[in-house]
Structure 1
Amino acid sequence: MYGTRWCPDCLRAKQIFSKHNIAFTWHDIEQDEEACAYVEKVNGGFKSVPTILFPDGSVLVEPSNAVLEEKLTGAK
């Protein structure tokens, strides 16, 4: 998960991962230049956070709670 410490959507996403006991790696784009470059690359030059990269290679950007829950649980 790529984000910033002050981002409320990043906090919300982290809470959803924790709720489901799903481990994730946190990349602070303000502290990590490579992480920032990745976020800009996948978001057309924008620093949109949270940007979440999944093991299957898929990416969610600023997902709603429902979209993130569906991705994490496989629910439809």
Structure 2
Amino acid sequence: MTTSENKAALTVYSTTWCGYCRRLKTQLDEAGIEYKEIDIEKDPASAEFVGSVNGGNHIVPTVLFADGTTATNPSLAAVKSALSL
């Protein structure tokens, strides 16, 4: 369930064509975990951020947690663990 509020527990950086992104978003939706989604192909600053946390590579999905940590292509279990769920 995407949210436009800044209160989302995490931000998912994605693209429209990314199968791994679709899978993660579906799993987050099914688990009831709110997130903000940003398409890095429509937001150059977000693409730059994703590259900065992935050694210059624009790898999606990249997840940014509220505490400032990131995860690249995480499993749902890894997201839940990071959120202490």
Same fold flag (TM > 0.5): yes
- TM-score (normalizing by structure 2): 0.76
1:39-50 to 2 correspondences below 5 Å? 39-50=50-61
1:1-76 to 2 correspondences below 5 Å? 1-72=12-83, 74=84
Number of residue-to-residue matches in the alignment: 74
- Structure 1 counterpart of 2:37, one-letter code: W
Larger fraction in strand: 2
Larger fraction in helix: 1
State the percentage of identical aligned residues.
38
- Structure 2 counterpart of 1:15, one-letter code: T
Counterpart-to-counterpart distance in 1, 2:27 and 2:71: 14
- Where in structure 2 are there 5+ consecutive unaligned residues? 1-11
How far did residue 71 of structure 1 move? 3.1
- TM-score (normalizing by structure 1): 0.84
- Where in structure 1 are there 5+ consecutive unaligned residues? none
